[in-house]
Amino acid sequence: MKTIHASALLVLLTVLTLVQSVQAQERRRWRPQAKGAAIGGAIGGAAGAIINKRNRLVGGLIGGAVGGAAGYAIGKRKDNKNKQEAARIAAANQAMAEQRAREEAANAAAERERIAAREKPKHGLGVASTVPVAIAAVPATLASSTQVIPASFLPNPTYGQADTPYASSQYLRRSW
């Protein structure tokens, strides 16, 4: 009977151990100040105990305190350098991102100018290569005729300039 209870308990503990999901915790890094203080305190305590032969406990405590303070100062200086380096890298990345955005904006403006130049008729009287929105409502037989378009619409020399009337149309409209 005792063997059955022990066996059942062993099986139960084994099952509970294997069923639980095991996750490793994320290891947090030591801050440079804490790391420096710990190393400095250990080295200072050992050195103080070795140096003070009459009372090793007092020498160890004093050496540990001095070593910990020195280690903290060294760690703080290292942390400040790391922060300055991170700020310098962030500023460089920001400058590169702004430069990239300016280049993309310039490329987009140049592309818009190329499209506007391609759509603008060269002689000023004919139809552009694409059908404007104003002509889309005109029947196809009339739109293909080159005499109807100049009679109804005038070329817009200020096409694409936002501060002028009819900036989005290749043709000026008659106002009657």
Residue range 144-170, pLDDT digits in tens? 444 445 556 667 777 777 777 767 776
Q: What are phi and psi of 174, to 5 degrees?
A: -75, 145
Closest CA to 61 of 36, 40, 37, 44: 44
pLDDT 10s digits, 28-60: 888 999 999 999 999 999 999 899 889 989 999
pTM given for the model: 0.46
